Amino acid sequence: MSLGLNKLEAIELPKPKYLDASSNEQDVDLKVTLSSEHSYEFENTTNLIKTYFKKNISEYAPVKVDIGDHFFEWTPFGVGFADEQGNEDWFGRINDAEAEIDDNKVIYKDLLLGIDDEFIVNAGELKHNTILNSKPVYNHTLPGKQINVVVDGIIDFSTDINMFVDGTIQKDEFETSSEIQFRDSSGDIVFTLPPPVAYEINGSATTQCMYKVIKIGNVISLKIFTPYEWIEDASRAYPVAIDPTLRYISTAGMPTGAIHFSSWSENGDFFALGYNYTTSAYKFDPLTNTVTELNPPQGGYGRTEFVNFAPNGKYILVASHITSGADLRIFSYNTLEQGFTNLISHEPSTGYNIAAFFNKNNRIVYSNNYSIVFQDFDIENGIFLPNKTSSGIPYRVSKIAVSKNDKYLLRIEVLGDKFKINSIVNGSMGPAISLPSGLAASRINDFDLSSDEKFIAFALTAHPYFCVCPFDENAGVIGDPIFPNTPLDMPGVKISFSKKMNYLVVAKNSSSSSERALTIYKFNKESAYIGDQIHIDPNLPQPTTGNGYPITSINFSPTGEHLIVTKHYYTTTPANFFLYKFFYEPENNVFFKDPITEDYYSDNKGNTLMLIDFGTIVAGQTTSPKRILLENCYDYAVKNIQLSISNPSQDFRVELSESDLPFMPQQTLYFNQTLNPRESVPFYIRVTTTDQSQSGGMFEVLAKCDVV
């Protein structure tokens, strides 16, 4: 049996390529070979990162990772036990252990008795496992009672770095169980350490670990603490890995040209990007953040104007550019070829096509130069049918959408009164719907219909540069605009509600090429109120704007968990495509929430997103109260709110209170009030131990309520 510790990994990217010494793109080769560098025995330099390994693990800095402008070196020191008082008992320090090579793996065996170090070179990442081949036996040599297995080492960085946790810069010495970002003097993220966990390599059990970090100059002392209570558990299935993953994230493999559009498939498995008037489709795995480019059809998709996915996910519709023989083409997914490669239908047109599928009916609507065409479409077989109608329009269309009930057609025309909305009558374009006074159609750059179709958001050319209007889909009436208290400082070019409508994302344009493009606002759909701007970490990679190169799309995945932002800029660097994991948006329950970060402690499925961290607790100590919010995320009000504690441990007591001063300890709290949608109520929680407390543990806070 063996136990693994430490690994370095990154997001997998499609068909990764690296630049060789002549700046030519080459396919990544992960094999480890003999090194041409005199200080190292082995290397891999045919990757997005370069990795070097010394012959013996006992040498200083035996492992080096180079990403061009920066590098770091890792030196392991030892493994041992540590208690809560800072006392340590080491198994020993690193022995001589020579590297053994197996394709993309480097293994140093028996660097300590029964402990190996394994490094695996993957695309854009170096995965590191310190492997305990048997359970370490603790002989009660330390005075403390909270015992951890600790892995000790240092990281030498090539440049001075700052450390951030949850967007906050850290002092030179700190402890955390959260992700650590290492940023250079420009604020760019160099590497990250995700939250540390220990896990069974061949099993399913996991536990949270903790970092202890001390920074001296460019050197980081890093210790990873794993609870020995978990290590020695009789049910533990070895091997087990303690996972402080040092991660470098790259955007290699994504388009580098000007991106004109993006679109998601209905279930979020695929997305497509249009760049330099061609198209690439990608498969996306949201669980692993893996993006894989799909194979195109023979000869490619041609010079495309627009791509959209059919509602059933079986097809993509490709609208070709006028200069390449304009038409609409339907491609189906080929499992064997791993791509939308089968051309099954096409419809000739005269060009400049933007298209949208109906949601409930077998129809499709598309622009064809200066007309809007409604055409029957066999959604099951992906075939255009002959029945169609056409209506003339004064200008070409740059965006088109159909409401979910297939009753309304919304579009942006390139000139004139740019925004238009018409009813759809008998499958054809019906009367136009008027805009409210104070909202000029000519000043609208973009629109988004909310997921419940009760609001339309508009990006505007004039101050305050965006607004939201109520929309009555039954009466076909657009209400008066709702403006933000804090306007944008530049014209809005793109806008989108988040899927659950808790946020508005607006992209602006400016004359400055360094101006960051995205602004996010809170939105309350119950009160139709545009709230405060959300703070965005200034070091988070995001598109800049200006100089005539605007944002071209803001596109949420169907679940709302991920967001694509694209930019129109001719460049040879991958700075036009941005893929974000968006804020978590709870629904249909009451949720516990951190009042400072506004992060939720669990998701809609009951999975734990984060824990209440009381830090190190010494026996006999009572912790300071932690303030928690209980938020109503139902679409209706609730009452008779009750909180209770589920705590199986006898070593500590968990107490609740409605106030912190004074803290009135209770095991159950009752709130005699009504909580409306999106309202929250605060409470406080603390942990009390005795002098005889032996260990920590897990507890749950339970909530229940009634519908008003």
Q: What mean pLDDT do residues 121-134 have?
A: 77
- One-letter amino acid at 459 equals A
Comparison of pLDDT for 129 and 173, the residue scoring more = 173
Q: What mean pLDDT do residues 460-468 have?
A: 95
The top-scoring range by mean pLDDT among 188-197, 199-208, 354-363, 663-672 is 663-672
CA distances from 378 to 204, 307, 308, 402, 542 (A): 46, 18, 16, 18, 40
Q: What mean pLDDT do residues 549-554 have?
A: 86
State the pLDDT confidence band at 511, using cuts at 50, 70 and 90: low
- The pLDDT assigned to 307 comes to 87
State the pLDDT confidence band at 247, using cuts at 50, 70 and 90: very low
Handedness of CA 447, 450, 456, 462 (dihedral sign): negative
- The pLDDT assigned to 638 comes to 93
- The pLDDT assigned to 625 comes to 92
Residue 281: name the closest of 48, 14, 25 by CA: 14
> Using the 8-state DSSP alphabet, how is residue 360 labeled?
S
- The pLDDT assigned to 12 comes to 41
The top-scoring range by mean pLDDT among 33-37, 182-186, 580-584, 699-703 is 33-37
Under a CB-based contact definition with an 8 Å cutoff, are residues 429 and 391 in contact? yes
Among 62-71, 365-374, 423-432, 535-544, which stretch is predicted with the lowest mean pLDDT?
A: 535-544
**Burial category of 631 from C-beta neighbours within 10 Å (exposed 0-12, middle 13-18, buried 19 and up):** buried
**Burial category of 348 from C-beta neighbours within 10 Å (exposed 0-12, middle 13-18, buried 19 and up):** exposed
Across-strand partners of 685? 626, 656
Q: What mean pLDDT do residues 415-419 have?
A: 86
pLDDT at 234 exceeding the cut of 50 = yes
- The pLDDT assigned to 3 comes to 32
Backbone angles phi, psi at 578, to 5 degrees: -135, 130
**Burial category of 433 from C-beta neighbours within 10 Å (exposed 0-12, middle 13-18, buried 19 and up):** middle
User: pLDDT digit string (tens) for 189-215?
Assistant: 777 777 787 777 776 677 888 999 998
User: pLDDT digit string (tens) for 294-345?
Assistant: 998 988 887 777 888 988 888 999 887 655 566 888 999 998 989 999 999 8
User: pLDDT digit string (tens) for 12-41?
Assistant: 445 567 777 787 878 888 999 999 998 899
The angle at the Cα of 365, spanning 359 to 370, to the nearest 5 degrees, equals: 155
List, in order of start, the domains of the chain with CATH numbers: 3-243 (no CATH), 257-433 (2.130.10.10), 439-552+559-585 (2.130.10.10), 590-707 (2.60.40)
Which tokens sit at 27? 């396919």
- The pLDDT assigned to 242 comes to 62
pTM: 0.62
Radius of gyration of the chain (CA): 29
User: pLDDT digit string (tens) for 601-628?
Assistant: 887 767 677 778 776 777 788 888 999 9
The 3-class secondary structure across 578-629, one letter per residue, is EEEECCCCCCCCEEEECCCCCCECECCCCCECCCCCCCCCCCCCECCCEEEE
Among 44-48, 502-506, 573-577, 589-593, which stretch is predicted with the lowest mean pLDDT?
A: 573-577
Q: What mean pLDDT do residues 69-79 have?
A: 83
State the pLDDT confidence band at 513, using cuts at 50, 70 and 90: low
- CB burial readout 502-520, b (16+ within 10 A) else e: bbbbbbbbbeeeebbbbbb
pLDDT at 366 exceeding the cut of 60 = yes
- The pLDDT assigned to 504 comes to 95
Comparison of pLDDT for 663 and 534, the residue scoring more = 663
- The pLDDT assigned to 160 comes to 80
What percent of the chain shows pLDDT beyond 70?
Answer: 89
- One-letter amino acid at 436 equals P
Q: What mean pLDDT do residues 51-69 have?
A: 87
Alpha-carbon torsion angle 25, 27, 30, 33, nearest 10: -70
What percent of the chain shows pLDDT beyond 90?
Answer: 34
Q: What mean pLDDT do residues 181-188 have?
A: 77
Across-strand partners of 240? 200
Q: What mean pLDDT do residues 231-235 have?
A: 86
Under a CB-based contact definition with an 8 Å cutoff, are residues 593 and 680 in contact? yes
